[in-house]
Structure 1
Amino acid sequence: MVQVVVTRPAQDAQRWVCELSAQGLQAIALPLIAIAPAANALPVQQAWQNMANYQAAMFVSGNAVSHFYASNWPLAQDISALEAINTRAWATGPGTVAALHQAGVAATQIDAPDAAAGQFDSEALWHIVARQVRAGSRILVVRGSDHTGEAAGRSWLAEQLAAAGAQLDTVVAYERRMPLFSPDQRRQAQQACADGSVWLFSSSEAIAHLQTLLPGQDFRAARAVATHGRIAQAARSAGFGVVCESRPLLADIVASIESLA
């Protein structure tokens, strides 16, 4: 049976291991991104206090949702739904939508690509929300940063908002860091690069971290499933011998993994 290496941050990775195992696949978690709260919680708290001034808050990930709300607890518990302050919640994919639901945001307050869509990214979200944006609209982007405090992620959506005349504010709710491998994890990763395992990548950053954690590693015998074209290209550039692109939905990922078996 083919082994699947799930590289998402620890909490997400365990959930995916359980879901893939329920589909009859052998899966292990080997997180390649570590998540921590933002070093300075004050800007997040200030953003929450000003939420009524924003037409929409765009959350880049489920981690953005959970850390944004965690930084504002128990205030967020009292008005957990953005509906209470008439601010839309934007999300690029189903994982972020699920995190918003868990935080208490009403489904009617969320704008996101349909779960059956073929693409979950800023471009797909823009097709949904572009008609809401007017000159003078004020939008908050809740996102992560790297360990230096630099905002992580692409600026494409920011460029579209600016072109439409919107005012864009950004707040960092969490940090994305490179994890430290234990000796056992290093051996596990090296073996998975050569034994036919399938690496599951949902971030180009995870691939970059793997290259740093395994300096000089030959990836030509390694196989990967990537959940976006840009991520697939990053895997190919890293030297992965076989790379399959898949939509980030469980059924599609399972089908892609099985196609490599």
Structure 2
Amino acid sequence: MARVTGPASTVSDPRKRVIVTRPAHDAQVWAEALQAQGVACASFPLIEIAALPEPSALTQAWQAVPHCWAVMFVSANAVRFFMAARPEGLDISHCRAWSTGPGTRAALAAAGWPAELIDSPDEAATQFDSEALWALVSARVRASVDAAAQAPTVLLVRGADALGLLAGRDWLALTLQGAGMRVLQTVAYVRQAPVLTLAQQRWAVQAVSDGWWWLFSSSEAAQHLLQTCPDLALGKGRALATHPRIAQRLQSAGWGSVSLVPAGLAAQAQSIKSLP
């Protein structure tokens, strides 16, 4: 699990290292990208992604796509699991796809969604979240509502927690409904805490004590760390957050030091390299 990326193992001062906590595939890709930008990294996934125990929900959700004006994907994993269930021959050329960041946009492109139909904040955006997406699509949404005889439909493709409950915020769903859209939601995958070995738990405890920076793009990952490693000396912990909401939750949890960094790769790398 705690996979050190590239020459990070040669860095003498562990306080100059960063631990990427995204789900396994995303964590390794992001750690390698930061490494290429000159940031010493370790990949330590704290969110485990699993398929739905009953895939029929995705089959039913796809039946709604021909009637949707847009489909919004909360993450690259949402794209991968949803697109893997696409019925053969189903036409998506009429339907826009929304994402909150470049990783999800890249997953949509790789899955074959037409590039001209994808709406997503670009790499230079200050935040990759629902608010940034809404700023991008709101004018088109309002024009569509004004022109339609009945409310256009948007399908939100999300993850669920280990209990099967929808993960994430409802801000975008409520905003779309307030603008006159009809909103459907479906679960494409399950997000759960990883099962750590004793050696991995000890590594995490030592990393906190040694002053590694823990990079969180989800407060759920931070919750899983505390759940799986309850003996952390959190007052000594140093955390990086990609969004103010995450930073606030980390501070409330008792992290000794919390710093806000940009969500975009290049700006994030520069911010991390300037840390004390």
- TM-score, normalised by the number of residues in structure 1: 0.93
3-state secondary structure, aligned to 1:139 = strand
Amino acid at match of 1:215: P
Corresponding pairs, count: 255
Partner of 2:27 in structure 1?
13
Partner of 1:27 in structure 2?
41
One of 90, 93, 97 as aligned partner of 2:98: 90
Partner of 1:140 in structure 2?
155
3-state secondary structure, aligned to 2:126 = coil
Kindly provide the CA deviation profile for residues 3-35 of structure 1, in whole angstroms up to 9, marking residues without a partner as x.
211100000111122112222332111111000
- TM-score, normalised by the number of residues in structure 2: 0.88
Show structure 2 runs of 5+ residues with no match.
1-10
Amino acid at match of 1:13: A
What is the CA–CA distance in structure 2 between the aligned matches of 1:3 and 1:30, rounded to whole Å?
12
What is the CA–CA distance in structure 1 between the aligned matches of 2:272 and 2:240, rounded to whole Å?
7
State whether structure 2 residue 73 is matched by structure 1 residue 65: no
What is the CA–CA distance in structure 2 between the aligned matches of 1:138 and 1:246, rounded to whole Å?
35
Partner of 1:258 in structure 2?
273
Question: Does the 8 Å CA contact 1:54/1:139 hold for their aligned counterparts?
Answer: yes
3-state secondary structure, aligned to 1:66 = helix
What is the CA–CA distance in structure 1 between the aligned matches of 2:64 and 2:173, rounded to whole Å?
20
What is the CA–CA distance in structure 1 between the aligned matches of 2:31 and 2:175, rounded to whole Å?
36
Question: Does the 8 Å CA contact 1:211/1:238 hold for their aligned counterparts?
Answer: no
What is the CA–CA distance in structure 2 between the aligned matches of 1:82 and 1:246, rounded to whole Å?
36
Show structure 1 runs of 5+ residues with no match.
none
Question: Does the 8 Å CA contact 1:225/1:256 hold for their aligned counterparts?
Answer: no
What is the CA–CA distance in structure 2 between the aligned matches of 1:109 and 1:119, rounded to whole Å?
21
Per mean C-alpha deviation after superposition, the further-off stretch among 124-133 and 147-156 is: 124-133
**How far 1:216 moved relative to its partner?**
4.3
Partner of 2:233 in structure 1?
218
Question: Does the 8 Å CA contact 2:37/2:266 hold for their aligned counterparts?
Answer: no
Equivalent runs, 1:1-261 vs 2, <5 Å: 1=11, 2-72=16-86, 75=88, 78=89, 82-83=92-93, 86-133=94-141, 134=145, 136-261=151-276
What is the CA–CA distance in structure 1 between the aligned matches of 2:39 and 2:138, rounded to whole Å?
40
CA RMSD of aligned residues (A): 1.5
